[in-house]
Structures are given as C-alpha cells and as structure tokens.
Amino acid sequence: MNDRRFFKGFFAGFLFAVLAACTLGATVLEKWKKTEVIPVCPVKGVIGGFEPIHGETIGHRWKKDDVTPICEVTSGIGGFVPIHGETIGNNWRREQVKPFVTVKSEGGDFVAGGRL
C-alpha cells in the first residue's frame, strides 16, 4: 500500500515538474526583435498639446492630431468595457479589441514582462 502512495506522489510531482517546465519554457520563448515592437509613450494633456507622463518633457510635445487615443478595457458580458469611466454604451466585441503585451529589453531582444 505504501508503494502505491509513493508512485502516486512521484507521478504527481513529475507531472507538476513537467507542467512547470513547459510554462516557464513558453514564457522564455516569447521574444521579439526591435523591428517587431511598437514603442508607445503615455501622455497627459497640457496647454497646447500633450507631453509624456514620465521622463523629460522638454522637446517632447505632440499636437492632438499626432496622438492615438487608447482605452484600457476588461472583459464584460458579451465583450469588453472600459476599466475606468462609464461602461454604459462603451463596449466592444472581441474582434474590435487589439490585444497587446508589455515587454522589457533583454539581450538585444524584447521579452514579455514589462510594465506600463
């Protein structure tokens, strides 16, 4: 009877190790070259345009026509709704949402795991 417990525990541990290795391996394999990454700069409105929320603002200013507005969304019933603000009348189907991933620089390439 102890042999059965040992083999069940061994099998469960082995299965866990394989799944963990596959998960970690999948994360490591997600790499992008610089040409595949679209750099973005979160901005705030100021008199006469927009400037970066973080970092140096001198010389970094854009007009309204140069800025692409975005809306962070979360899944809701039947689609997606804004994380912040009014949700009534503001919903999108899956096909209308463009997913993205934040990345960080690693060894000349980019890997998942950056921050906003």
Closest listed residue to residue 111, CA positions, set 22, 103, 33: 103
- Whether 36 and 112 have beta carbons less than 8 Å apart is answered as no
Q: Using an 8 Å Cβ cutoff, are 53 and 44 in contact?
A: yes
Q: Tokens for 36?
A: 């595949």
Taking residues 82-90, what's their average pLDDT? Answer: 91
Reported confidence tier of residue 78, pLDDT bands at 50, 70, 90: confident
Instruction: Give the pTM.
Output: 0.59
Question: Is the pLDDT score of 63 beyond 60?
Answer: yes
Q: CA-to-CA distance for 99 and 76, rounded, in angstroms?
A: 15
User: pLDDT grade, residue 64 (50/70/90)?
Assistant: very high
| Higher-scoring residue by pLDDT: 13, 32 | 32
Q: How confident is the model at residue 66 (pLDDT cuts 50, 70, 90)?
A: very high
Banded model confidence at residue 9, pLDDT cuts 50, 70, 90: low
CB-facing half-sphere around the CA of 86: CA atoms within 13 A: 3
- The pLDDT assigned to 5 comes to 63
Q: Provide the pLDDT for residue 62.
A: 95
Q: Which of 73, 116, 65, 66 is nearest to 92 (CA)?
A: 73
Task: Give the pLDDT confidence score for residue 113 in this predicted structure.
Answer: 86
Instruction: Determine the pLDDT at residue 115.
Output: 75
